Amino acid sequence: MHKIGIRYEDKYVMERRVSLVPEHVKELIGKGLEIEVVRSNKRIYNDSEFEAVGATLVDEITDSTVILGVKEMPMNFFREELTYIFFSHVIKGQPYNMPLLKQMMRKKVNLIEYERIVNDKNQRLIFFGRYAGLAGMINSLWSAGQRWNELGIVTPFISLKQTHKYNSLEEAKEAIALVGEEIIKNGLPSQISPIVTGFTGYGNVSKGAQEIYDLLNPVEITPDELTDNDYHTKSDGLFYKVIFKEKDISEHIKDSSTFDLQEYYNHPELFKSKFEQYIPHLTILMNCMYWDDRYPTIVTKDYLEKLYAKDNPKLLVIGDVTCDPDGSIECTHKGTEIEDPVFVYNPITRKPTMGFKGKGVLIMSVDILPSELPRESSQTFSDALVGFMLEIAETDFDVPFEELKLPKPIKKALILHKGKLTTDYEYLKQYL
């Protein structure tokens, strides 16, 4: 009989998600799998819920051949020639996780990366992205209220809470809708009106963030209308939203008159950022796009220094949902934890201060945003994953890669087979 293990998440204190929820564990047990679940006193689904559906509770994984997690697993956790499925954060050659990749290679394990489970159009099939966007926007609106309060400006946003302090997504949505209604009724302080929020990207993360912001009934304008600066005269909106696509963010180094998306993906080194023209017009910037270090930085420290040398710039909050340390938002020096989620970056001293106080721009860069909506995000993730689990558990990983009888999206996501980089991931050698 094949056995799957579900591990205890230990990278973050507030990591409460699980990759398979009890109803799907019950379904898999009904199909003949054994499932052991490591006890956890913080997981959003408690131990008794798993026990009630037939899972075996254990203090540590025993003889499972396939082991599921959410975030990175500790270096000393891996056992030889087993199969591990989790967000390993290695596909960009992230320096901080190269020792982890080397350890897995040494242990000759099979590594399946959730992030690379994609369809024929390269679209992700299993993801938490929408929930990162949802939580990121809730947190950013809460942060804006707290930050304005620090600056002596009282707004209805001060009533909002950090995402994980709501009992459900619906409760958070109701609170934000009420804020919107109050502002429509009573207006906003003149010094902050209108509130303009920009969204980089248009995928699942961005759509999740927009889902929350749309509760405020914003007027949508284009990037060009934003810089024309006469959008106020065309409507009496208190909230505006702008969606930035690749062509709005970057331009060709030699010819800025045309933009070829495929060339941008294939040769990002031929492009430079043109995003700075929009930043002074934004109250909140939600950074929701994919980024790696081949692409231009969209908000540099140098630019922020120039912006904040002037009095009272409009930019209040950057919700860096993408959360690449020292990445597309250069002053995001680290992913923050749910318990300590924000910092104020001072562009003049180039130093961050945790919390809401100080001169500069507030950065919200929680690294595990979906864990602020742990029940809803786990359910959706598990809905997408469960259909693959029986075939993964029954696969004989000892055969050559070409002969593996895995579903095509899972085979695409196999970074390591018996400790060796598979063909699609051999590029990672340069980072090792």
- Residue 43 banded pLDDT, cuts 50, 70, 90: very high
Whole-number pLDDT of residue 389? 97
Same domain, 358 and 300: yes
Closest C-alpha among 108, 97, 109, 86 to residue 15: 86
pLDDT reading at 231 higher than 80: no
Same domain, 400 and 270: no
Which range of residues forms the domain containing residue 196?
129-372
Same domain, 348 and 269: yes
Within a domain: 431:
no
pLDDT reading at 129 higher than 90: no
Same domain, 386 and 249: no
Within a domain: 379:
yes
Cβ-Cβ contacts under 8 Å for 171 (sequence gap 6 or more): none
CATH number of the domain at 16, please.
3.40.50.720
Distance CA 114, CA 128 (A): 10
> pLDDT tens across 74-120, in order?
999 999 999 999 999 999 999 999 999 999 999 999 999 999 999 99
Distance CA 341, CA 143 (A): 9
Within a domain: 312:
yes
Same domain, 144 and 269: yes
Same domain, 209 and 274: yes
Within a domain: 328:
yes
- Residue 241 banded pLDDT, cuts 50, 70, 90: very high
Q: Could you say which of 345, 372, 399 is where a domain stops?
A: 372
Whole-number pLDDT of residue 366? 95
Domain count, the chain: 2
- Residue 310 banded pLDDT, cuts 50, 70, 90: confident
pLDDT reading at 246 higher than 90: yes
Residues 206, 243 contacting (CB under 8 angstroms)? yes
Same domain, 329 and 233: yes
> pLDDT tens across 176-190, in order?
999 999 999 999 999
- Residue 127 banded pLDDT, cuts 50, 70, 90: confident
Per-residue tokens: 413: 């996501």
pLDDT reading at 200 higher than 80: yes
Within a domain: 432:
no
Same domain, 39 and 177: no
Q: How many CB atoms lie within 10 A of CB 83?
A: 21
Within a domain: 288:
yes
Cβ-Cβ contacts under 8 Å for 210 (sequence gap 6 or more): 133, 137, 199, 241, 243
Closest C-alpha among 68, 79, 18 to residue 44: 18
pLDDT reading at 219 higher than 90: yes
Same domain, 269 and 151: yes
